[in-house]
């Protein structure tokens, strides 16, 4: 996310793409995890990423501390009101990634602690995503740009189909 923010030619296009894939993914997210086509109590990670990109764009000037704090607070509150994945903590993680992108070890420590203390349990395993992030060399690869965008809704659709099969075969409702 933060590398995309630094490499993009158009933040507006990037934001529109995130919102588009948030909307495409949402029915599959709701069906896979809640068994409903529309479940307003929890939104998928693409909404978190879209809010985070908006916040990064508004907080470009690192010297405008109070303005940035206002934007950060506003976006964090919005994340909670919209019930996005990881809530306000998800937005905070993206900000940490952006502000510490040149200091990878400090980023890894800060984000790991944030995951453990904010979410604990199974959500803390999201900190494992740090490994490919730490290994990333900073170079843009246009060939796989949409692979990551399409993977998310496709894997959610597969999870939903597996859930349907398990319910049909075994009555499993998990």
Give residue limits of the domains in the chain: 2-170
CB-count exposure of residue 121 (10 Å: 0-12, 13-18, 19+) = exposed
Which one has a higher pLDDT value, 72 or 108? 72
**pLDDT for residue 80 is more than 80:** yes
Angle among Cα 63, 116, 126 to the nearest 5 degrees reads 85
**pLDDT for residue 155 is more than 80:** yes
Put simply, whether the predicted model's pTM sits higher than 0.75 gets the answer yes
Report the C-alpha dihedral over residues 138, 46, 58, 99, rounded to 10 degrees: -40
The residues that bridge with 84 in the sheet, in sequence order, are: 43
Token digits for 37?
A: 């086509």
CA distance 92 to 119: 13
Q: What is the pLDDT of residues 84-120, one digit of tens each?
A: 998 998 898 899 888 888 887 887 777 777 767 766 6
Mean pLDDT within 46-50 = 97
Token digits for 42?
A: 């929890």
**pLDDT for residue 162 is more than 80:** yes
Mean pLDDT of the chain: 86
- In this structure, is the dihedral angle defined by the CA atoms of residues 30, 132, 136 and 96, taken in order, positive or negative? positive
pLDDT at 125: 66
Mean pLDDT within 150-158 = 93
Say if residues 111 and 96 touch (Cβ distance below 8 Å): yes
Read off φ and ψ for residue 39, nearest 5 degrees.
-130, 95
Mean pLDDT within 111-136 = 66
Contacts of 46 (CB under 8 A, 6+ apart): 18, 19, 21, 22, 25, 152
């Amino acid at each position: 996310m933060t590398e995309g923010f630094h490499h993009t030619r158009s933040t507006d296009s990037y934001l529109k793409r995130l919102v588009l894939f948030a909307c495409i993914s949402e029915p599959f997210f709701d069906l896979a995890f809640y068994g409903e086509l529309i479940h307003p109590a929890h939104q998928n990670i693409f909404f978190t990423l879209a809010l985070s990109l908006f916040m990064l764009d508004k907080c470009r000037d690192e010297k405008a501390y109070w303005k940035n704090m206002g934007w950060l607070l506003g976006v964090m509150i919005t994340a909670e009101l919209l019930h996005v994945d990881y809530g306000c903590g998800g937005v905070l993680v993206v900000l940490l990634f952006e502000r510490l992108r040149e200091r990878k070890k400090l980023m890894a420590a800060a984000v790991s602690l944030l995951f453990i203390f904010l979410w604990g349990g199974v959500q803390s395993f999201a900190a494992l995503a740090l490994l490919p992030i730490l290994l990333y060399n900073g170079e843009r690869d246009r060939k796989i740009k949409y692979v990551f965008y399409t993977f998310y809704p496709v894997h959610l659709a597969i999870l939903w189909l597996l859930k349907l099969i398990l319910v049909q075969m075994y009555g499993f409702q998990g």
